[in-house]
A and B are shown apart, each in its own frame.
Chain A
Amino acid sequence: DTAVSQTPKYLVTQMGNDKSIKCEQNLGHDTMYWYKQDSKKFLKIMFSYNNKELIINETVPNRFSPKSPDKAHLNLHINSLELGDSAVYFCASSHRGGTGYNEQFFGPGTRLTVL
């Protein structure tokens, strides 16, 4: 009964490769997010989708392209991987209630290592 799941959990790849990380939530939420956690544990939002529409796009290189085929999925594709992309990537989801914001639930993370 996993709420927010990500695959793969670990990803080791060479510089220059293209890779994808998948995220799925079964909470019935309408908003999903990608966060990056660097080696110093600092967490920063990358993207957010609401009902499959991009609503937050932070200053992220074009090599990162999120795709939301439906409300329950938000995948992250990364082209031409660089050493600096090594990090833990967390997916999260929430429901946009009347207050305009609700608690975000996080996935287990994907540890990406670029060699």
Chain B
Amino acid sequence: AQSVSQHNHHVILSEAASLELGCNYSYGGTVNLFWYVQYPGQHLQLLLKYFSGDPLVKGIKGFEAEFIKSKFSFNLRKPSVQWSDTAEYFCAVTGNTDKLIFGTGTRLQVFP
């Protein structure tokens, strides 16, 4: 069965610090990978996605993620975070079905 692990449950950073959130998945076949963000009190928004091609994916708001197939990973990065990046971040995967399997989420707090 597919599963997604996000090892960082809560990350606290100061503004301008660099960010890397870990995401590992387990699935033997072809995967589609996603990072969603949920700002406080709001719905999920897609940050970026990987279907195929270049494993380094650029998303909105300066975020990027790298798909490393050999490590079953899809870590999210941002070189310099802002206070407005404070949110919950979810990694998700689909395989050969429409079912989005989410990780448990990482809560990011950025202090000015």
Between A and B, how many residue pairs show CB distances below 8 Å? Answer: 55
Nearest CB of chain A from residue B51's CB, rounded to whole Å: 7
Which listed segment binds A: B18-26, B62-70, B73-81, B89-97? B89-97
Which A-chain residue is minimally distant from B44 (CB atoms)? A106
Is A31's CB under 8 angstroms from B98's CB?
Answer: yes
Tell me whether A44 and B102 are in contact in the complex, defined as CB-CB below 8 angstroms, given that A90-B43, A106-B44, A109-B43 are known contacts.
yes
Which residues of the partner chain B approach A99 to less than 8 Å between Cβ atoms? Answer: 32, 51
Which residues of the partner chain B approach A96 to less than 8 Å between Cβ atoms? Answer: 98
Is B100's CB under 8 angstroms from A42's CB?
Answer: no
Tell me whether A108 and B43 are in contact in the complex, defined as CB-CB below 8 angstroms, given that A41-B88, A43-B90, A103-B49 are known contacts.
yes
| Per-residue B-contact encoding for A65-96, CB less than 8 Å = 1, 0 else | 00000000000000000000000001010101
Count of chain B residues with Cβ under 8 Å from any Cβ of A? 24
Is B102's CB under 8 angstroms from A55's CB?
Answer: no
| Per-residue B-contact encoding for A100-115, CB less than 8 Å = 1, 0 else | 1101111111000000
- CB-contact partner of A42 in B96, B98, B104, under 8 A: B104
- CB-contact partner of B99 in A50, A56, A90, A105, under 8 A: A56
* Cα of A94 to Cα of B44 in the assembled complex, Å: 14
Tell me whether A25 is interfacial, beta carbon within 8 Å.
no
Is A48's CB under 8 angstroms from B98's CB?
Answer: yes
Which residues of the partner chain A approach B43 to less than 8 Å between Cβ atoms? Answer: 90, 106-109
Nearest CB of chain B from residue A111's CB, rounded to whole Å: 9
Q: 20 A-B residue contacts at CB 8 Å? A: A31-B98, A33-B100, A41-B38, A41-B104, A42-B102, A43-B44, A44-B102, A45-B99, A45-B100, A48-B98, A48-B99, A90-B43, A92-B44, A99-B51, A100-B98, A101-B94, A103-B46, A106-B36, A106-B43, A108-B42
